[in-house]
Amino acid sequence: QDGNTEAVTNDSGDRVTPAVIAFSNGEKSVGLAAKSEMVRNPGGTICHLKGLLTATSPDEVEQLASDSPCKVVAKGDQVHYEVSSVDDERCTRHSRSDVLLYLFRKMFEVAASQGSDECPAVVTVPPEFGEDQRQLVAEAATKAGFQVLRLINEPTAAALAYHMGAPPSPDVCRYLLYRLGGRTASASVVVVCNGAYRLVAHATAQPALGGRDFTAAVVDHCAQEFKRQSRGADLRESRRALARLWTAAETAKHVLATLETAQCFAESVYEGMDLSLNLSRARFESLLGPLLSRCAEPIDEALRQASLESSDIHKVVVSG
């Protein structure tokens, strides 16, 4: 707007909408409201869609299914979510394309709230998406109401968002974009010349590494401390208690991004007992030691793919 890019807020006032869908009392919610249902209504909550879109082997699907709050069923190359909420005994099936459509409809509502029914859109997708996944995304966005102008890779979108290569110059500029997402850590090398953006290398951490692994480290630490303090009660044996622990651990993780200490708290988390633990940033970083040592792996691999040294990179952008 007026030459500037602005992130539009949703109905919660946030600029980011979690890719989570929940079904309860015959109603569907998307975003933060759905995410809050994961404790009370795990069987009716859908998440981890991006991972299931890129899963190429039965082992990958099985791993994602084990982490999913609701049931995931795979038959051949068809993957469905089986949803059964606490308020409804019926079991409903939702394909990956269905879930994509729910998400894009929500985002169309957010875009349309700015006063225009016409929403031309450039949609970003992970570089690892193949033609089939890209087609699913384009179809879902179109059905939701967007006029899809183009699909572009996420690293290219990040380069554009940070005005790399602006104003256009005949000089070749090389940028490294590092993204730490919920389930993946990736590095990409983008070359910009005369206003043209070219993705020349992309690498992801293997095995998968992301913010969820950081939260899991806090979850394990808190579960062990709670077990010690309660003389044997293991929060990981109760699905609902574990879901509440995950929420508390994620909140503490975000607090530690800016403060030196955080409290990991959940009321009546197990048989009337509260979880209340203080976690320092120093302790948090020690828990993450093995994970942090792997964070640079995709950077090294992306540079290797591009046949570049670190000194050849003109600028680095960190996102996620």
- Among residues 176, 160, 155, 164, the alpha carbon closest in space to that of 316 is found at 176
Give the residue-averaged pLDDT of 260-278.
Answer: 92
Structural tokens at position 299: 């950077």
The pLDDT > 90 percentage for the chain reads 58
CA 12 to chain CA mean position, Å = 19
Structural domains in the chain, CATH included, are 21-110 (3.30.420.40), 118-207+296-319 (3.30.420.40), 211-291 (3.90.640.10)
Q: What is the mean pLDDT of the chain?
A: 90
- Among residues 258, 260, 263, the alpha carbon closest in space to that of 275 is found at 263
9-55: per-residue pLDDT in tens?
Answer: 998 889 889 999 999 888 899 999 998 888 888 889 999 888 888 77
**Cα 228 to Cα 219: distance, rounded to the nearest angstrom:** 14
The CA-atom distances, in angstroms, between 11 and each of 6, 14, 108, 111, 112 are 16, 7, 12, 11, 12
Three-state SS letters, 166-184: CCCCCCCEEEEEEEECCCC
136-166: per-residue pLDDT in tens?
Answer: 999 999 999 999 999 999 998 988 888 887 7
